[in-house]
Amino acid sequence: MLAAVDHVQLAAPPGSEDRLRAYYVGVLGMTEVPKPPVLAARGGCWFAAGPVHLHLGVEEGFRPARKAHPGLRVTGITAYAARLEALGAVVTWDDDLPGHRRFYSEDPVGNRLEFLEPR
């Protein structure tokens, strides 16, 4: 029986860890979580904010998915979007999901991220 989502894995190109840290920690406000040494040797980085865990793994020949994305629930979505924009992230609002306010953005390697808050 499934109990919860433990984490979401996204891919990233080799050598992008510093850009990912700047975005996920500096822009989104997440905390970097140390990877176990055997996994750290593969590159990439892990981030968390409360129960939300995102793992960024290095993938040779990386190309960001155009449609696939994690949906990240936020509180105070208007202020959160303003924070992202003030820190240089592009925010694209979308009103097509009934009962929610939401926007899309991208991390520095092109991964699509959805941010949403129930109305």
For residues 97 and 43, give the distance between their C-alpha atoms in angstroms, rounded to a whole number.
36
- Residue 3 pLDDT level (bands cut at 50, 70, 90): confident
Task: Give the mean pLDDT of 105-113.
Answer: 97
Report residue 57's pLDDT band, with 50, 70 and 90 as the boundaries.
very high
Q: What pLDDT was estimated at residue 2?
A: 85
pLDDT in tens, 14-54: 999 999 999 999 999 999 999 999 999 999 999 999 999 99
pLDDT in tens, 74-100: 999 999 999 999 999 999 999 999 999
Under 8 Å between Cβ of 33 and 47? yes
d(CA 113, CA 69): 5
Angle made by CA atoms 52, 99, 87, in degrees to the nearest 5:
50
Q: What domains lie within the chain, and their CATH numbers?
A: 8-60+69-118 (3.10.180.10)
Q: In this predicted structure, what is the pLDDT of residue 96? A: 96
Facing residues of 103 across strands?
93, 115
